Chain A
Amino acid sequence: MKHWKTLAAAAVATTVGSAVLAEGLVTPNLSYRTGPFAATGIPLMNGQKDYMEMLNARDGGIGGIKIDFTECETGYSTEKGVECYEKTKGEAIVTQPWSTGITLQVLPKTNVDEIPILAPGYGFSPMADGKTFQWAFNAPSGYWDGASMIVSYLDGKDGGLSGKKVAFLHLDHPYGKEPIPLFEKKAAEMGFEFLPIPVGLKEMQNQSAQWLQVRRERPDYVVMWGWGAMNAGAITEAVKTKFPMENFIGVWWSGHDADLALVGDAGKGYKSISWSFPNPDAGVMADIQKHVVDAGKSLSNADEMSGVFYGRGVVMSMILAEGIAAAQAEFGTAEINASQLRWGLENLNITEARLAELGMEGMVPAFSTSCANHTGNSGGWMLEWDGSKFVKASDHLVPDTSDYAALIAEKAAEYATANAPWPMNESCDAPS
């Protein structure tokens, strides 16, 4: 009978009311260590967690206050993500939503709940417009940055892109569709043929139909926006169909060491644009080794820690930690709240000197955010698989942000109208 509901709700009412009080600053992470995307999630989550653990052990937190880096497991399910958001938002000073689906759900609530979203390198590209999306941050690089860098990199190769054919293999999901507007714009301007090839969520592991299309169309390049099992599927199919690997480029989420390790030498030449790079010799890695791994607090292992994704997790937590530190310095208090952290994330200034101080040389390019620019447009490097690991294959690349500023403004305005009444941050200048 329905009275079970009574009991359940009564239990919830009491437990939620008496939830454990926070120790320090609560920065929940909506992790996914289970489910279909766990293989790519775990190294990232471990990197994030270990960096915060390291700060807690080495410096006693940030500004003398411990960081409570709790994880709430979503299994990459949107439904669980919303559950986690509701569960954590009471004390949280930031939300790390971790999937484009969850970001889309949480984004409209930011203006009401006033908790910043930190989505490093993912989420909705127009979030760069800080005037419209006051509470959302996708530093250091958005998907349109990635697309722009890939296009300009390809344009610099073998006599330019004009007249070439670029296939765009993407997950048929909000995430995979994200860069299409920019690619279409560039295709029209630069005169290359753009061919989107969607991969449905059910077809991730079996992409024979898509690669048949690749063989028939004979594109000069294949650009991939894949995630989870799709990456491994695409890379093995590409090897099988003997597609030249040096013409195959993925976004940063398609550059997971374990996916390439499956094919080993056959994957040589595969590239991935990335705003992070693992540097096992960096000072921060030694500190993590000393304070977290040797203390037995890490869930990671040596092999994983040398990979791209673990390093990226460390960089992500560094961005959050720097935001917290900036806010603490500005407001003169260690116990900052959500809106103070918003200021901190808006005033990040990660210079090369600061990176050296943090012991993170070469792990991420320098960047800074502002009121109007919530992305920072760090740029990145083209990484290349050498048969056993990823190596840098280019100098620091920068996206041509002026190229799509209008597009960002247009899409941000569209979002704001669709969600009216949507408050704008009038104190900002026009987005750059």
Chain B
Amino acid sequence: MIYRTVGQFKTSYRLDQALFPVRQDAVLLTIILVFAWIIFPLTASEFAFQTLLIPILIYALAAMGLNILTGYAGQLSLGTGAFMGVGAYACYKLITIFPWMNPIVAILLSGVFSAIIGVMFGIPSLRIKGFYLAIATLAAQFFLVWLFEKWAWLYNYNASGAIQVPNLEMFGVFVSGPQAASVTQYFIVLAIVSLMTVLCINLTRGNQGRIWKATRDMDIAAELIGINLMKSKLTAFAVSSYIIGVSGALFVFMWRGAAEPNLFDIPLSFRILFIAIIGGLGSIMGNYLGAILIVGLPVVLNIVPEALGLDIKSATVEHLNIMIVGALIIFFLIIEPHGLAALWRLIREKLILWPFPH
């Protein structure tokens, strides 16, 4: 019905390989983009910006970075939180050393530092695989968080050891710090996340993406057909860490406003890994779905009892919340072990065939 593909003829290879071979997908995406770019900014409250829209986008971006490494190139990493931290601290140092620097440039540049560190910690991946590699990236996690605590230069010798985002201006408008309006920050985050998403889609569909997938599926076979494994793995680490670093800079500069070292500790890494796994490894859209489930849903659940006028204690709501989200994660993984993206793919296929299932 809705997904009827009848009459959509592909007359060239180019058309068949298009990003959206089915017209309805393109329409759906347009609707979502209209919502993201026009309707949300006009209607959303401060609360919705700060607790739903901005964090979902940032977490989705971080998960996308991890997905490049784990989902596409098959290298398991537990150091995501620390790489986000590298991005955040790099951005902080850039902004404080060069106060004239455009904040968006600083955010995009800070990913470079994260990429360099990512490649350094990616070198062991040339020798070790799977769970053993996860342990090696865990070392990055512990080392970097320790460094954020001990290296006082990183936080400009602040007595409390935390970094605080200053008020930054761009063309006369505050874009970060307490003076910035949420809607400005939302647009910046949305623009950067959209840019990165387009970049990732094209990267993973193109030559480089195929190299990564070959590495993931069977690295010996990939090597035999002439793929340079070292290059493949290290580019995956570099691209992944770059995106994660940018998301870390956004995380602190466009959302949190302040950060202490233990923010980037292992719970953050796990959270992003869960988003990537539940959303679907090896998928771009899955990161958004995962972020909505893990980051957005608890916030929405938290306000449900109050909106319904039920008098439940705040602590009880929190406990219920943890139970509901946990149960949902298990439920989704049972009905589709490959994540929400695969679930959507299934629904979509059924919709195309509907009402004539075979």
Structural contact, A70 and B292, CB atoms closer than 8 A = no
Structural contact, A8 and B164, CB atoms closer than 8 A = no
Pick from B51, B159, B314: contact of A181, CB under 8 Å? B159
Q: Given contacts A8-B52, A34-B319, A419-B166, are A15 and B257 in contact (CB under 8 A)?
A: no
Pick from A9, A78, A178: contact of B159, CB under 8 Å? A178
Structural contact, B315 and A33, CB atoms closer than 8 A = yes
Structural contact, A86 and B50, CB atoms closer than 8 A = yes
CB-based closest 8 A-B pairs: A174-B160, A108-B178, A15-B307, A33-B315, A73-B314, A73-B318, A2-B32, A71-B314
With A2-B32, A9-B43, A73-B315 already in contact, 10 other A-B pairs whose C-beta atoms are closer than 8 Å: A1-B285, A1-B344, A5-B288, A16-B47, A17-B45, A18-B307, A87-B47, A87-B51, A101-B162, A172-B149
Of B112-120, B128-136, B225-233, B295-303, the stretch lying at the interface with chain A is: B295-303
Q: Which residue of A lies closest to B295 (CB)?
A: A79
B3 an interface residue at 8 Å Cβ cutoff? no
Instruction: Collect the chain A residues with CB atoms within 8 Å of residue B262's CB.
Output: 173, 201
Pick from A8, A101, A104: contact of B292, CB under 8 Å? A8
Instruction: Collect the chain B residues with CB atoms within 8 Å of residue A22's CB.
Output: none
B188 an interface residue at 8 Å Cβ cutoff? no
Nearest CB in chain B: distance from A414 CB, A: 9
Instruction: Collect the chain B residues with CB atoms within 8 Å of residue A105's CB.
Output: 256-258
Instruction: Collect the chain A residues with CB atoms within 8 Å of residue B307's CB.
Output: 15, 18-19
A70 to B344, CA, bound (A): 40
| Interface members, chain A 1-57 (any B CB < 8 Å) | 1-6, 8-9, 11-13, 15-20, 31, 33-34
A420 an interface residue at 8 Å Cβ cutoff? yes
Structural contact, A177 and B317, CB atoms closer than 8 A = no
Q: Given contacts A8-B52, A19-B307, A86-B46, are A174 and B177 in contact (CB under 8 A)?
A: no
Q: Which residue of A lies closest to B319 (CB)?
A: A34
Nearest CB in chain A: distance from B85 CB, A: 14
| Interface members, chain B 156-199 (any A CB < 8 Å) | 159-162, 164, 166-167, 177-179
Q: Given contacts A15-B307, A112-B179, A124-B160, are A83 and B299 in contact (CB under 8 A)?
A: yes
Q: Which residue of B lies closest to A83 (CB)?
A: B51
Structural contact, A31 and B314, CB atoms closer than 8 A = yes
A12 to B48, CA, bound (A): 7
Q: Which residue of A lies closest to B285 (CB)?
A: A1
20 contacts between A and B (CB under 8 A): A1-B285, A2-B35, A2-B292, A5-B35, A5-B52, A5-B53, A5-B56, A6-B32, A9-B43, A15-B304, A33-B318, A73-B315, A75-B318, A86-B51, A87-B51, A87-B303, A201-B262, A419-B177, A420-B166, A421-B167
B44 an interface residue at 8 Å Cβ cutoff? yes
Instruction: Collect the chain A residues with CB atoms within 8 Å of residue B265's CB.
Output: 201-202
Chain A contact surface mostly: helix
Structural contact, A3 and B31, CB atoms closer than 8 A = yes
A420 to B178, CA, bound (A): 10
A109 an interface residue at 8 Å Cβ cutoff? yes
A101 to B161, CA, bound (A): 11
Contact string, B298-325, partner A, CB cutoff 8 A, digits 1/0?
Answer: 0110111011010001110111000000
Structural contact, B32 and A1, CB atoms closer than 8 A = yes
A418 an interface residue at 8 Å Cβ cutoff? yes
Instruction: Collect the chain B residues with CB atoms within 8 Å of residue A293's CB.
Output: none
Pick from B257, B299, B302, B313: contact of A71, CB under 8 Å? B313
**Chain B count of residues within 8 A CB distance of the other chain:** 57
B260 an interface residue at 8 Å Cβ cutoff? yes
| Interface members, chain A 219-263 (any B CB < 8 Å) | none
| Chain A contacts to B: CB under 8 angstroms | 1-6, 8-9, 11-13, 15-20, 31, 33-34, 70-73, 75, 78-79, 82-83, 86-87, 100-101, 104-105, 108-109, 111-112, 124, 172-174, 177-178, 180-181, 200-202, 411, 418-421
Nearest CB in chain A: distance from B307 CB, A: 4
Q: Which residue of A lies closest to B318 (CB)?
A: A73
Structural contact, B317 and A73, CB atoms closer than 8 A = yes
Pick from A3, A15, A19: contact of B32, CB under 8 Å? A3
A271 to B257, CA, bound (A): 37
Instruction: Collect the chain A residues with CB atoms within 8 Å of residue B36's CB.
Output: 2, 5
A78 to B267, CA, bound (A): 13
Instruction: Collect the chain A residues with CB atoms within 8 Å of residue B159's CB.
Output: 177-178, 180-181, 411
Q: Which residue of B lies closest to A38 (CB)?
A: B315
Q: Which residue of B lies closest to A78 (CB)?
A: B263
Structural contact, A13 and B43, CB atoms closer than 8 A = yes
Instruction: Collect the chain B residues with CB atoms within 8 Å of residue A418's CB.
Output: 164, 166
Chain B contact surface mostly: helix
Structural contact, A5 and B292, CB atoms closer than 8 A = yes
A9 to B344, CA, bound (A): 20
Structural contact, B318 and A108, CB atoms closer than 8 A = no
Instruction: Collect the chain A residues with CB atoms within 8 Å of residue B260's CB.
Output: 78, 101, 104, 173-174
> Interface centre among B35, B160, B262, B344, by most A CB within 10 Å?
B160
Structural contact, B167 and A419, CB atoms closer than 8 A = yes
Instruction: Collect the chain A residues with CB atoms within 8 Å of residue B40's CB.
Output: 9
Q: Which residue of B lies closest to A17 (CB)?
A: B45
Instruction: Collect the chain A residues with CB atoms within 8 Å of residue B6's CB.
Output: none
B289 an interface residue at 8 Å Cβ cutoff? yes
A202 to B138, CA, bound (A): 15
Structural contact, A34 and B315, CB atoms closer than 8 A = yes
Structural contact, A108 and B288, CB atoms closer than 8 A = no
A219 to B46, CA, bound (A): 51
A181 to B262, CA, bound (A): 21
Structural contact, B296 and A5, CB atoms closer than 8 A = yes
B335 an interface residue at 8 Å Cβ cutoff? no
Nearest CB in chain A: distance from B347 CB, A: 9
A174 to B261, CA, bound (A): 9
Nearest CB in chain A: distance from B7 CB, A: 23
A181 to B31, CA, bound (A): 55
Structural contact, B35 and A6, CB atoms closer than 8 A = yes
Nearest CB in chain A: distance from B164 CB, A: 6
A17 to B319, CA, bound (A): 25
> Interface centre among B32, B159, B166, B306, by most A CB within 10 Å?
B159
Nearest CB in chain B: distance from A219 CB, A: 22
B334 an interface residue at 8 Å Cβ cutoff? no
A320 to B269, CA, bound (A): 39
B28 an interface residue at 8 Å Cβ cutoff? yes
Nearest CB in chain A: distance from B83 CB, A: 19
A342 to B56, CA, bound (A): 35
Structural contact, B45 and A13, CB atoms closer than 8 A = yes
Nearest CB in chain A: distance from B56 CB, A: 7
Pick from A1, A12, A104: contact of B162, CB under 8 Å? A104
Instruction: Collect the chain B residues with CB atoms within 8 Å of residue A73's CB.
Output: 314-315, 317-318
A181 to B160, CA, bound (A): 10
Instruction: Collect the chain A residues with CB atoms within 8 Å of residue B167's CB.
Output: 419-421
Nearest CB in chain A: distance from B357 CB, A: 21
Instruction: Collect the chain B residues with CB atoms within 8 Å of residue A112's CB.
Output: 178-179
| Interface members, chain B 259-294 (any A CB < 8 Å) | 260, 262-263, 265, 285, 288-289, 292
Q: Which residue of A lies closest to B32 (CB)?
A: A2
